[in-house]
Amino acid sequence: MFAVIKTGGKQYKVEVGTVLKVEKLAAEVNSDVEINEVLMLDGKIGTPSIKGAKVIATVREHGKLKKVINFKYNKKTYYRKKGHRQQYTLIEIKEIKG
């Protein structure tokens, strides 16, 4: 059984046991998170989501991704260098209910 879920403005195809990094969620480590925005469940497409379907995941850790450098340069003495580290939550899919 697989599902397509939406969290943090992105879509992910998941199965039971899948481990993935998503945008930071407001949840404690080792707690369960319920994702209600299920867009597809075993080939059945929702409009826009499937009512009553949900995915239960366990939060494994919180962290930051690798630093990304944004650099603007102009040869006439202008430059700008900025760095950004996106925060993430590592989750493991525990159960898919539909």
Return all residues near 79 (Cβ < 8 A) that are at least 6 apart.
Answer: 71, 72, 73
Query: Region 1-27: what's the mean pLDDT?
Result: 95
**4 pLDDT more than 90:** yes
So what's the pLDDT on residue 6? 96
So what's the pLDDT on residue 77? 85
So what's the pLDDT on residue 98? 83
CA dist 86 → 12, 48, 54, 77, 79 (Å): 18, 28, 26, 30, 23
Task: Output the CA torsion 64→66→67→72 (10° steps).
Answer: -130
What is the Cα–Cα distance from 42 to 14, expressed in whole angstroms?
A: 11
So what's the pLDDT on residue 56? 97
So what's the pLDDT on residue 19? 97
So what's the pLDDT on residue 45? 93
| pLDDT band (50, 70, 90) for residue 25 | very high
What confidence tens digit (pLDDT) does each residue in 26-76 have? 999 999 999 999 999 998 999 889 999 999 999 999 999 999 999 999 988
Match 């299920």 to its residue by tokens: 38
